[in-house]
Structure 1
Amino acid sequence: MNDALSVASMLSSWRAAALDLETCIGQVVIGQTRAIRLMMISIFARGHVLLAGDVGVGKTTLLRAVARGIGGAYERVEGTVDMMPSDLLYHTYLADDGRPRVEPSAMLGKAEELSVLFFNEINRARPQVHSLLLRLMAEGNVAAFNRVYQFPYVQVFADRNRVEKEETFELPAAARDRFFMEIPVEAPTDVEVRRRLIFDSRYHDADALLASIETPALDYQTLVSAAPIIQKSVHTSKAIQDYVVRLWEATVRPDAAGIELASIDVERLVQGGASPRGFAFLVRAARVRAWFEGRDMLVPEDVRDVFVETMAHRIFLDPVYELRREQILRDLCAAVLTIVPAP
């Protein structure tokens, strides 16, 4: 009984701290309520995140605010077309004696305390770099200097350049599937929020805004142990389990589920990607969402609320439809949620 009370107390304390941090971030990055909540869900589910959005909408400020709130080390990497894996691992320079030196990169130097790695414009980097990043995301370590560097607390956040297509490399299926969510960060539509962002000088100085967030509001080391406790504390009924399985079936075989999309051959549309790992991630996200709502039981709305951001980026379409994937996947996910009855 005492153990149960202790766990309940920890869960309550973590939730209060998370909601406080969410409120603080919402005062720094205004007009992004949903994106902030999805970021918080990913943090407590220990999932890596793709950020999707146009230039100048606040993706970097949002991520810096999150990093400041959870503590630990922060490292930013800029994706470039000539980047090689060694650029993430080694730092070369000429010493005072004129001789070349090779030392561990800043990422390796911060390995054991690195909580946030931000890879900006990840699709500008070559597939070789994606492979190294995949190991880091999947196993939490990389090999360099004849040793293995461990990253026990790292979460990878990456931004894709979705405007320019020249000198970019599409993320391979394995790398996309390793990202827990793809979170859209769009320009606010509320007129008053737009007015404030344009004319209020407070929102023109990101560093000053970030200084308003207490450091840290959460403990990045504690998050690793909190995540499995949250997962175990939120229960799923047989009805919810059956519902998720039916969603999976409809996503894999939308034609068999009776889904129809305008000007789309639904029978050949989906080539793969709706995997067991993907739907396990969906349930992980839904459980954290339920915990944020103060419940210990999953309900259909928890699953539906995170379905698109958790599943769409890991569904792979027939090549003829890939150029229109964003709109098609939005329509497909909406159709799946409509046609599969919730319990």
Structure 2
Amino acid sequence: MEDQNQEQQQPKAPENNPLEFSNRIDLSKLREAVTLVKSELGKVIIGQQDMIELLMISILANGHSLIEGVPGVAKTVTAKLLAKTMNVDFNRIQFTPDLMPSDILGTSIFNVKNSEFEFKKGPIFSNIILIDEINRAPAKTQAALFEAMAERQITIDNMEYEMEPPFLVFATQNPVEQEGTYRLPEAQLDRFLFKINVQYPSLEEEVQILESKHRQKNMDVESMIVSVLSAEQIAEYQDTIKEIIIEDNLLKYIASIVNSTRTNANLYLGASPRASIAIMDASKALAAINGRDFVTPDDIKHVAGPIMAHRIILTPEREMEGFTAEKVVQQIVDSIEVPR
């Protein structure tokens, strides 16, 4: 009887076109908004479609993203312009070795007029936070972000201050330069939904970049971008993502993938249940972007790498042999039987 009910719940394809499905959730506005954002970014950013797609998923899934790549591949510019497509507050914080936690969170200042301490909010109190070169600040400054990123609140002097939604952190870091940098704590990495590895552009894309830069001359690229999303719309679309359907067998599929990282001989540290939740939320967002109100195994496979690679640690032996976290995640995903 249960099988019959589950069968009835599957999306039905219209008779006139077996490739089209009739959604039970209206995704037209959400897809239109994603198209508009991509169109605005396309005025300036050439290529980097994978990064843009993962950042859009990050916004819809209400998760933070760590963007890693060599200097000059448009990490900061993309995150900054993406924030500009949304009509919300935006702050950029440049991380440096001498940055203190109070420089981010804020501090209590004595007001001589009323002889009381008043809390002066720091730059973390915004909707979109761009942290540039996040690995240039020491561990105590990194720790200042833990509560804000995980719980969307700050506790100072026994007072809790809620972050206004949406609250999203986009952070960049350079993977090759080691001087003057600090390794991100594992607890910090685990709070990022995605770690996005930004690659060099292709030859054709680089030619387009040069042509575009030549045409723009001294034009301010930020003035070319207009806001197409409001805070209310973002909240609405994030709620829509929660309604995307995911079958029980796919939930077990996600759990099996993540659980396998904890018993894999190549890994010293596996992924936590937070990774399972992240895969579920991100696969829902990807399904919605692709016009489906239900998750498929391909959605899960697509997001598993950027979600888990920064959450696992290779054994020293495998690291010396040249293994990468991405390769191990791919091996694990390929080894798990796909639900039918």
Aligned to 1:170: 183
The 5 A counterparts of 1:224-263 are: 224-232=235-243, 234-254=244-264
**TM-score, normalised relative to structure 2:** 0.82
Partner deviation per Cα, 1:280-302 (whole Å, 9 max, x = no partner): 10110001000111111111110
Distance in structure 2 (CA, Å) of the matches to 1:228 and 1:202: 42
In the alignment, residue 334 of structure 2 is paired with which amino acid? T
Q: Relative to 1, partners in 2 of residues 1:313 and 1:59: Cα closer, same or farther, differing over 3 Å?
A: same
Aligned to 2:212: 200
Distance in structure 2 (CA, Å) of the matches to 1:203 and 1:126: 41
Q: Percent identity at matched positions?
A: 29
Q: Relative to 1, partners in 2 of residues 1:239 and 1:91: Cα closer, same or farther, differing over 3 Å?
A: closer
Distance in structure 2 (CA, Å) of the matches to 1:159 and 1:81: 15
Aligned to 1:71: 87
- For residue 313 of structure 1, give the secondary structure of its aligned residue in structure 2: coil
Q: Retained in 2: the 8 A contact 1:90–1:104?
A: yes
Which of 303, 307, 312 is equivalent to 2:309?
312
CA RMSD of aligned residues (A): 2.7
How many Å apart are 1:92 and its aligned residue?
A: 11
How many Å apart are 1:175 and its aligned residue?
A: 0.9
The 5 A counterparts of 1:105-184 are: 106-107=122-123, 111=125, 114-144=126-156, 147-153=159-165, 154-184=167-197
Range moving further from structure 2, 137-146 or 50-59: 137-146
Distance in structure 2 (CA, Å) of the matches to 1:252 and 1:198: 46
Aligned to 1:53: 69
- For residue 211 of structure 1, give the secondary structure of its aligned residue in structure 2: helix
How many Å apart are 1:251 and its aligned residue?
A: 2.2
How many Å apart are 1:211 and its aligned residue?
A: 2.3
- For residue 324 of structure 2, give the secondary structure of its aligned residue in structure 1: helix
Q: Relative to 1, partners in 2 of residues 1:324 and 1:205: Cα closer, same or farther, differing over 3 Å?
A: farther
Aligned to 1:186: 199
- For residue 107 of structure 1, give the secondary structure of its aligned residue in structure 2: coil
Distance in structure 1 (CA, Å) of the matches to 2:51 and 2:158: 40
Q: Relative to 1, partners in 2 of residues 1:340 and 1:204: Cα closer, same or farther, differing over 3 Å?
A: farther
Partner deviation per Cα, 1:129-159 (whole Å, 9 max, x = no partner): 1111111101212244774432122211111
How many Å apart are 1:205 and its aligned residue?
A: 6.5
In the alignment, residue 317 of structure 1 is paired with which amino acid? L
- For residue 58 of structure 2, give the secondary structure of its aligned residue in structure 1: helix
**TM-score, normalised relative to structure 1:** 0.81
Distance in structure 2 (CA, Å) of the matches to 1:13 and 1:151: 26
Q: Retained in 1: the 8 A contact 2:313–2:325?
A: no
List runs of 5+ in structure 2 lacking aligned partners. Answer: 1-23, 110-117
- Structure having the higher helix fraction is 1
How many correspondences in the alignment? 308
Distance in structure 1 (CA, Å) of the matches to 2:75 and 2:270: 26
